Amino acid sequence: SLTLGGANTFTGGLTLDAGSLVLTNSAALGTGGFTAAGGTSLVAGSNLTLGNDIATLGVFTLDTAANVV
C-alpha cells in the first residue's frame, strides 16, 4: 500500500491500478479526479472530506477504518 499524508496541489488526477491507497489528508489527492480499478482499495487513515470526482472501473473497497468519509 501507498500512504499519501500531505496536501497535494497537482491537478492531473490519480489512477489506482493495483493495491491499496491510504489517505490521511483530505487534500492528498490534489484537485483532479480519482479512478480506482477493480480489486483495489482506498483506505481512510483519518476523518476525510474529499472533493474529488471518483470513478470506479469494477468493484473496489472503500475501507473507512471507523473514520468519517
Residues forming a β-bridge with 54: 34
Q: Under a CB-based contact definition with an 8 Å cutoff, are residues 7 and 27 in contact? A: yes
* Global pTM value: 0.89
Amino acid 66: pLDDT: 87
Q: Under a CB-based contact definition with an 8 Å cutoff, are residues 19 and 39 in contact? A: no
CA distances from 58 to 35, 54, 61 (A): 10, 12, 10
What would the pLDDT profile of 8-41 be if each residue is shown by its tens digit? Answer: 999 999 999 999 999 999 999 999 999 999 999 9
What would the pLDDT profile of 51-66 be if each residue is shown by its tens digit? Answer: 999 999 999 999 998 8
